[in-house]
Homo-oligomer: A and B are copies of this chain.
Amino acid sequence: MRPSELRKQIAESEFTESTAGYCNGYVQANLVVLPQEYAADFELFCKQNPKPCPLLEVVGPGEFRTSKVADGANLLNEIPKYQIFKDGIPTEIVSDISAYYKEDLVFFLLGCSFSFEEALMQQGIALRHVEQRKNVAMFNTSIDLNRVGIFSGKMVVSMRPIKCKRIVDAALISAKYPNVHGAPIHVGAPEQIGIVDISSADYGDSVDIHADELPVFWPCGVTPQNALVNAKLPFAITHSPGYMLVCDIKNEDLRVE
């Protein structure tokens, strides 16, 4: 199925599932929606913390259709599930945010690690959470973000166990995708970045680390979501985790040499 076809089914409520595993090869993006008064700070926050918060496109104010990542995708109803926040608290999950639309809303689309995971697997680097059909293991860290206005906090990382002999390959391959988190930020020694128990993920699903592997840590897209929640904005919207915008651009389009 082509991304535009899937998005049409989503808009018509014919497709209501997680987008994980659909339209392989195409970029899937995270969404953050904010009133304009916070948008400049949030955009700068992303630019000051590009590894965990890789900006793919900013839409609006006064516009709700994409032009870069997809040809005219309607951000009000072409994502299967949206999470509404009020004062930093999740209130309801909806499949259409047209009722919440105001002229002053700004839509941020951020890269996600699905893109570099495809490249890793194509190069023969096995990913345990994919093999086990789990969500990737994610952890809070002690790594400070660069504060901009009310947006601040600590970096969240995703962890993938990688064989010692493929760690360098994994770093070199993912480094080619700076717009979807890029290279790892840490290898081994979880305690050095404030992770107390590597067997117990803070988000997603825990996975085993085998004797011939080390934990490898990448900046994670939960980081901007946490910064958003911590800022306790009166109103904000995100995609619901796993229910992403499926874009027209391909993962390979994000690869840089």
Q: Which residues of A contact B (CB under 8 A)?
A: 164-165, 167-168, 171-172, 175, 183-189, 192-193, 211-212, 214, 257
Contact = CB atoms under 8 A, between A and B. Distances in A.
B164 A183 contact: no
Contact of A164 (B168, B171, B192): B192
Contacts of A184: 168
B171 A192 contact: no
Query: Copies per complex?
Result: 2
A41 to B, nearest CB: 28
B188 A188 contact: yes
B187 A212 contact: no
A185 B168 contact: yes
B183 A165 contact: no
A38 to B, nearest CB: 31
Contact of A187 (B167, B172, B193, B211): B167
A256 B257 CA distance: 11
Contacts of A193: 165
